[in-house]
Structure 1
Amino acid sequence: MSNSAKPTAFLDRDGVIIRDFGYVYRSDDLVFVDGAPQAIRKLNELGYRVIVVTNQSGVARGYFGIDELEAFHAVMSERLGSFGARLDAIYHCPYHPEGVVEAFRCDHPDRKPKPGMLLRAMSDFAIDREASFLIGDKDTDIEAANAAKVAGFLFDPETSLLDFVETLIASGSLNTPHAVRAVS
């Protein structure tokens, strides 16, 4: 754990960083949401730690395994790097209560809307909770942010993530702890 707490941008994966085509795990299917690499780079430049928190029930459903998921995340991180964007960590929840893979069939505390992934990140890293926020495309993302006591912002994946982040910065919304807003 780092000695100085940093503000952290928690980002959902599907629908925020990459296009959500349903259970994406093949690198051939990796398509960034408009402006996502640039938004992550901007957050890096502003001094935010960037951490992905993503439900990945495709593992529990038997669509792909943990190794395939981690290989996909490695490719995603590498492609983001080609834009000068860096992820500090990726937390994924492979569990689902209706999963067909026994080892991953449960109602896990990491599965959003529960805050487990955010809380684990806060345990693993020195995070300035008051200055941190989550961007997600579903109400369950915002519920997880609320439960972890960080600001939550609902994003429309049909828009630009860079424009969204720049709007949050310009509006001063990122300076308001525990805010929950929909920004258009």
Structure 2
Amino acid sequence: MSTRPRAVLFDRDGTLVVDVPYNGDPDAVRAMPGAAAALGRVRAAGVPVGVVSNQSGIARGLLDAGQVEAVNARVAELLGPFAVWRWCPHGSDDGCACRKPAPGMVLDAAAALGVAPADVAVIGDIAADVGAADAAGARAVLVPTAATRREEIEDAAARGILADDLAGAVALLGFRPSGSAP
């Protein structure tokens, strides 16, 4: 990837924090290894970071918007401030434009940041994150977890958008530790 993006959007669950399905409990939030350092490298370059997250537990009646906001606040306590938060409360059958892999959240976050979608990167752990980036015209990086399907990993590897961890993801986007060669 040739130039650094002007904004980086992260998936929340499974990317920034350990995925606890339908988590509405801030006390259950645990940062993914390396998340704080990766975010710090992007922030140190003066590039805004944001979060784009599907929260279908709301549509399923398993949690409410207040619980999502409380969990988001805990994520910010652990990992620092985010310039923009976007989350989709819809289920997979609702037909909304925001639920990843639809581009709505990425486009909305880019607009809120005053950045063209082509100047945004999305880092996530599943194909829906990559799909949302693709649909919005943004760049994508896949950081697989145990939940990532093999074919998603193979596709990302073939496209050159696969990273082993968050440090590798931000390095792939041009954010290297200070003192590193460009």
TM-score range, shorter chain: 0.7 to 0.9
**1:132 equivalenced with 2:120 (yes/no):** yes
Match of 2:65? Answer: 66
Contact 1:57 1:93 in 2 (8 A): yes
Match of 1:13? Answer: 12
In structure 1, runs of 5+ residues without a counterpart are 1-5, 99-105, 172-184
| Aligned counterpart for 1:155 among listed residues 138, 143, 151 | 143
In structure 2, runs of 5+ residues without a counterpart are 147-163, 177-182
Counterparts of 1:1-184 in structure 2, within 5 Å, are: 7-81=6-80, 86-97=81-92, 106-157=94-145, 160-169=165-174
Contact 1:33 1:157 in 2 (8 A): no
Count of matched residue pairs: 155
Contact 1:8 1:128 in 2 (8 A): no
How far the C-alpha of 1:128 sits from its partner, in A, is 4.2
- The CA RMSD measured in Å over matched residues stands at 2.0
TM superposition score normalised by structure 2 = 0.77
State the 4+ residue runs in structure 1 displaced beyond 6 angstroms.
Answer: none
**Secondary structure of residue in 2 paired with 1:87:** coil
TM superposition score normalised by structure 1 = 0.77
Contact 2:142 2:169 in 1 (8 A): no
1 CA distance for matches of 2:92 and 2:144?
27
2 CA distance for matches of 1:60 and 1:68?
13
Counterparts in 2 of 1:160 and 1:123: CA distance versus 1, 3 Å: closer
